[in-house]
Amino acid sequence: MRGFDFLSPVSLTAALRAVDETGRHCKILAGGTNVIPDLRSGGIRPRLVVDLGRVKALDYIREDKSSIKIGALTTISRLRESAVIQKRAPLLWEATRSFAGPLVRNRATVGGNLADASPAADTAVSLLAHNAKVKIRSLNGRRTVPLKAFFSGYRKTVLAPGEILVEIEIPFSPSGTKYGYCKLGRRNAMAVSVVSVAVALRMKGKTCTDAAVAIGAVAPTPLRMATVETLLRGRKIDSELARQCGELAAKSASPISDIRASAEYRRIVCRNLTHQTICRCVGIEDQEGFR
């Protein structure tokens, strides 16, 4: 790893000044679990690397009357250990349980996982289903972006030169909301998702009044499945409706083939995981399994 300057500021203001001066030639380092391998391989060649590790003001989990606020430098391990996250953001908590291994969880940050913009990012799928927003800062001001508008392409986001993702906000879900999360990888430990699904359904009896369905690793970015959500709203959920949702999700997906799975296999898994996760979410016994 040669050919770049390194800065480790202790304040957000100092970090913002550094990235503002360097612009597109700057790379931000949070936990480093993705950036360091990219630097070593030569996949990225910045002029300046700004390490946020000493900016303690970005490491927090706070609960107010209507939402949870998470600092971008909060580690996956801390999210996993948080009773607030388990209670108020159960999909995010479930995602942290299958996130890599202990060494990676102790370093990886929620902000870094989102900013890396991998289509298989575990926290992204769960946070999409929680209707999360991200807070972005620069020297010129601040802005808030719904997470579903944050990803602009394969490993690309709407972050502009000079901007830093500083916070994730998760609104409290209405009462009557049911949750389901499922991730399939090639093995249990250190597995990158082949497909992951997060579902949040607001129920009134057996009828779904609102829905959020997010799927990862089946398109260039993590996705909210708007067509599936529309199909669910105002309907009584049974196994047949869940099956239709799975079929629709598979049609809406645009997976690729890589070393982990073929596009065809991903589409099949997308169909089945969506079906099964919706069934589990509302307590329907699913007899079909994988087909």
Measured CA to CA, the distance from residue 151 to residue 157 in angstroms comes to 4
Model's pTM, two decimal places? 0.94
Average pLDDT (254-263) is 90
Structure tokens at 224: 């909210």
Q: pLDDT by residue (tens digit) across 24-62?
A: 899 999 999 999 999 999 999 999 999 999 999 999 999
- 197: nearest Cα among 208, 186, 209, 212: 212
Instruction: Answer yes or no: is pLDDT of 247 > 90.
Output: yes
Q: pLDDT by residue (tens digit) across 9-23?
A: 999 999 999 999 998
Measured CA to CA, the distance from residue 278 to residue 157 in angstroms comes to 29
Structure tokens at 150: 């944050």
Query: What mean pLDDT, rounded, does the chain reach?
Result: 93
Instruction: Answer yes or no: is pLDDT of 126 > 80.
Output: yes
pLDDT reported for residue 179: 98
Instruction: Answer yes or no: is pLDDT of 230 > 80.
Output: yes
Instruction: Answer yes or no: is pLDDT of 103 > 60.
Output: yes
Domains 56-171 and 179-282 share a fold: no
May I ask the CATH architecture of the domain 5-51? 2-Layer Sandwich (3.30)
The mean-pLDDT minimum among 13-17, 148-152, 256-260, 287-291 falls in 287-291
247 three-state secondary structure: helix
Domain residues of the chain, as ranges?
A: 5-51, 56-171, 179-282
Range 56-171 has CATH code 3.30.465.10: yes
Fold of 179-282: Enolase-like; domain 1 (3.30.390)
pLDDT reported for residue 26: 95
Average pLDDT (215-240) is 97
Outline where DSSP puts E strands in the chain.
5-7, 26-29, 48-51, 61-63, 67-71, 133-138, 141-146, 151-153, 156-157, 164-171, 177-184, 195-204, 207-216, 223-224
- Using left for φ > 0, alpha for ψ between -120 and 50, and beta otherwise, residue 221 falls in beta
Percentage of the chain lying above the pLDDT 90 cut: 88
Instruction: Answer yes or no: is pLDDT of 289 > 60.
Output: no
Average pLDDT (232-243) is 97
Measured CA to CA, the distance from residue 79 to residue 281 in angstroms comes to 22
Measured CA to CA, the distance from residue 279 to residue 271 in angstroms comes to 13
Instruction: Answer yes or no: is pLDDT of 113 > 60.
Output: yes
Instruction: Answer yes or no: is pLDDT of 290 > 50.
Output: no
Are 165 and 72 in contact by the 8 Å Cβ rule? The answer is yes
Q: pLDDT by residue (tens digit) across 78-99?
A: 999 999 999 999 999 999 998 9
pLDDT reported for residue 185: 78
Instruction: Answer yes or no: is pLDDT of 245 > 70.
Output: yes
Average pLDDT (238-267) is 95
pLDDT reported for residue 291: 44
Are 260 and 192 in contact by the 8 Å Cβ rule? The answer is yes
- 97: nearest Cα among 115, 111, 85: 85
pLDDT reported for residue 3: 84
pLDDT reported for residue 190: 52
- 125: nearest Cα among 186, 77, 195: 195
Measured CA to CA, the distance from residue 130 to residue 124 in angstroms comes to 10
Instruction: Answer yes or no: is pLDDT of 189 > 60.
Output: no
DSSP count for the chain of H helices, then E strands: 11, 14
